[in-house]
Structure 1
Amino acid sequence: MPGTATLPVAPAPRRLPYRVEALEGRAAFDALEAEWNALLARGPVDLPYVRHEWLAAWLDAFAPRARLRVLVARDPRGAAAGFAPLLEERRSGAIWLVAPANDHSCRVEWALGPDASGAAAALWGHLRDRLRWDALLLRDLPRDGPTSALLEPLARADGHLTGRWESLRTPWIALGGEGAEARTSSKFRANLRRRARRLGEMGAVAVRREDGRGDLEGALRELFALEAAGWKGARGTAIAADPRTVAFYRRVAGDAARRGALAMRALTLDGRAVAAQLGLVHRGVYALPKIAYDESLAQVSPGQLLHREVVAECEAQGLAELDFLGPDMPWKRDWEPRHRPHDWLYVYRPSIAGRAMHTLKHRVRPAVKEALSWWR
């Protein structure tokens, strides 16, 4: 009617196509294995380190008594669209939700299906509205991966505070074409040839291959012993120094062997391993979680000579990429790699506690660190 004020009508709340449930405990997580891996195979993050069996091995080894929550996004028919595994921790009175990960995890992503954007929005909505937490931490997220690219904008749009620390710049090389070795420097190639000749003068050189159908336990013992004999053993950080880490890599290797993804390689001198790799082959990519070499033979670079053989084998098999995993290192740079940056992504509630933690972590500490660097 003329002269009647029209009140604004609030828009109807946007209904997400997915409902989310929060499951707790290992039994609930274990029951998800088949649909977890099936979803990964259809989505953008089909990586070995996101597979259910990898996470189960990690939990058994490093966090068997942790409080595990798994957020599950499902469509109206009940089909899974995304999984977000999180551990709840108490730190100085604050509640943290963290990815189940450590230095052995390689890379972290949520398990997202083809509709990664919709699933991530649903998972975030449940985190935001239904769970108690002060801070969320996902470590070693590929910066350009879907979890990283989707989660932070969602959180910031809802007024949450975020911060990042770069953790890794992981090297990788494309395979094929003229060949990865041909793309390296002429000096590096000449060094490889010279060192191969010198090693050959010391005895009989061969490459031993293990895919799980032979002596897998023996191959693992070789790898662990080589690593423990070097600087990692001296520092107490070798796999063999911690029974939990030994159990984790045994489990990872066994699981990979059962699905035909294991590629353990050793360079031998008169039958004795002088370099070893634990490799995984998945979706055309050779990934390298662990290496070791005899440091007493560093002058002939047995690790690089083995890697040369592995690169040639991967290219002969038609693989598309070799992913070194882990941090950038001088020996990896010899292969002229490209790099994938990874971050620790932090999300904080816009509460007094959350704002205080954000200020301390991402403003005060960087300022102090910079001041100390100037002082030194």
Structure 2
Amino acid sequence: MTAATAIDLSNACALPARHAPALPGAEAEWLPLSPLADRLCEEWDALAAEAAEPDVFAQRWFADASAALAPPDARLLAIRSAGRLIGLMPVGRDSRYGRLPLRHSVNWVHYHRFLGAPLLRRGQEVAAWSAIIAALDADRDAGSLLHLTGLVENGPVHRGLIEAARLAGRPCDTVHRIERAMLASDMAPDAYYAATVRKKKRKEIARLRARLAEQGSLETRRLAADASPHAWTDAFLALEHAGWKGAAGSALACTPETSAFFREVVAQAHRAGRLDFLRLDLDGAPIAMLVNLIAAPGAFAFKTAYDEGFARFSPGVLLQIENLQILARDDIDWVDSCAVENHPMIDSLWGQRRAIVRVTLPLAGRRRRIAFTAARTLERSAAAFKSLRNRRPQAPQEDSE
């Protein structure tokens, strides 16, 4: 964990960490992640329809598929105002903050969830965050601070958190920040491709596609809305497992839990009309596959895989070129790549970037505030030392003969 930007909250750091202001009529309820009551399922879907931000990973069906991956102590915090659901956040606990042995609360996420924001009702972001913070303030087992992963920087949820923290008189520090590739344009797909990708690279991609087409019958397919996704799901799991992820033990098919999770996500997304499944076939067999999950007006490039036996033809790149056709959809304005920062392939094809942050704030109480201050001081010191070390001039190297 590295320090980055401390958000200016008008000297909030100098104020005591008082309890978050109570919201009239607000109620916080701790629930198990699974199983979900029928009434909560209906409320969750209604909340998602009026969410502050499009986030497929906060949809009920994605959370339900994820529940089997959760640690035993993970819980669901539900916030209601005047009986109406305005916020939901899976909450977990961690015994270490970076290298420090420090108990704290987290928004529970897993390796295959690429955003971590709670699901908040549009227009109720500050009220929901205030109630979430107040519930954790009152929880003796919540630890010293709240560490939040995977927030869209300066989005409605992030801004609501900053304001709720200000009202509670406490800092809200951005401790980590990345930028990942994003596809966002009102241009037609072909025009976007021409404007974003260099002419030399476009010529090389066209050459690779032509060479690949010489190997057999090349076809791009998209799963039909009325077709079963099961065979495609099996094919994806096998394709991913056959590559480097399988060798490294990180492919979805490497464990029964992650395999079942992926199958459930694809099935539920297809049932909900939120699945965009593409494949590039050579002689009828997939050599690249891509799963997009839809949360209009956005979409998320959830998972991709390719046959490494055809790596010299860059089948994954070729499929991503076909994926640009998603810009032609009337209901989609942008696509989040869900990729790591500085990903060489997708960064060269998609011209926009999305900033994702991790945020830390103290919970109420003198001891908690002292622990937070100590943790952040060490974090800043480590970041300063790393920055100084990286700026240290290198000794000139002798020319080799």
State the TM-score, normalizing by the size of structure 1.
0.85
Q: What is the aligned-residue RMSD (CA, Å)?
A: 2.7
SS state of the match for residue 103, structure 2?
strand
Mapping of residues 54-133 of structure 1, within 5 Å:
54-60=62-68, 62-63=69-70, 65-75=72-82, 78-91=83-96, 94-115=102-123, 116-129=125-138, 132-133=142-143
Aligned to 2:193, which of 181, 185, 198? 181
Distance 1:211 1:365, change over 3 A: farther
Question: 1:213 Cα deviation (Å)?
Answer: 4.2
Q: Is the 8 A contact 2:278 2:289 kept in 1?
A: yes
Structure 2 unaligned regions, length at least 5: 1-19, 395-401
Matches of 2:361 and 2:224, distance apart in 1: 41
Aligned counterpart, 2:361 = 347
Matches of 1:354 and 1:14, distance apart in 2: 20
Matches of 2:58 and 2:186, distance apart in 1: 26
Mapping of residues 173-322 of structure 1, within 5 Å:
173-179=183-189, 180-184=192-196, 185-211=198-224, 213-312=226-325, 314-315=327-328, 319-322=332-335
Mapping of residues 147-162 of structure 1, within 5 Å:
147-156=157-166, 158-162=168-172
Q: Is the 8 A contact 1:285 1:323 kept in 2?
A: yes
State the number of aligned residues: 360
Aligned to 2:57, which of 26, 49, 55? 49
Matches of 1:148 and 1:313, distance apart in 2: 27
Deviates more, 1:126-135 or 1:196-205: 126-135
Q: Is the 8 A contact 2:58 2:117 kept in 1?
A: yes
| 1:10-52 per-position Cα deviation (integer Å, ceiling 9, x unaligned) | xxx9863441222232358545221122112113223211112
Aligned counterpart, 1:24 = 31
Amino acid at match of 1:369: K
Matches of 1:302 and 1:23, distance apart in 2: 46
Distance 1:14 1:107, change over 3 A: closer
Q: Is the 8 A contact 2:221 2:278 kept in 1?
A: yes
Runs of 4+ that moved beyond 6 A: none
Question: 1:372 Cα deviation (Å)?
Answer: 5.2
Does 1:356 pair with 2:370? no
Matches of 1:108 and 1:230, distance apart in 2: 28
Amino acid at match of 1:273: P
Distance 1:320 1:307, change over 3 A: same
Matches of 2:182 and 2:74, distance apart in 1: 35
Aligned counterpart, 1:169 = 179
SS state of the match for residue 327, structure 1?
coil
Aligned to 1:333, which of 347, 350, 358? 347
Matches of 2:330 and 2:314, distance apart in 1: 25
| 1:278-328 per-position Cα deviation (integer Å, ceiling 9, x unaligned) | 112231433211001122222221111112222225516663223212323
Question: 1:368 Cα deviation (Å)?
Answer: 4.3
Aligned counterpart, 2:46 = 38
Amino acid at match of 1:209: R
Matches of 2:187 and 2:263, distance apart in 1: 35
SS state of the match for residue 106, structure 1?
coil
Question: 1:68 Cα deviation (Å)?
Answer: 0.9
Using the aligned pairs only, state the percent identity. 26
Amino acid at match of 1:125: A
| 1:308-358 per-position Cα deviation (integer Å, ceiling 9, x unaligned) | 222225516663223212323111122242111111111224523333223
Q: Is the 8 A contact 1:124 1:151 kept in 2?
A: no
Aligned to 2:383, which of 357, 361, 366? 366
Distance 1:319 1:27, change over 3 A: closer
Distance 1:17 1:29, change over 3 A: farther
| 1:240-262 per-position Cα deviation (integer Å, ceiling 9, x unaligned) | 22322212211111110111111
Matches of 1:48 and 1:237, distance apart in 2: 22
Matches of 2:63 and 2:331, distance apart in 1: 29
Deviates more, 1:232-241 or 1:13-22: 13-22
Q: Is the 8 A contact 2:87 2:118 kept in 1?
A: yes
State the TM-score, normalizing by the size of structure 2.
0.81
Amino acid at match of 1:139: T
SS state of the match for residue 137, structure 1?
strand
Distance 1:14 1:203, change over 3 A: closer
SS state of the match for residue 307, structure 1?
helix
Question: 1:128 Cα deviation (Å)?
Answer: 3.2
Distance 1:183 1:30, change over 3 A: farther
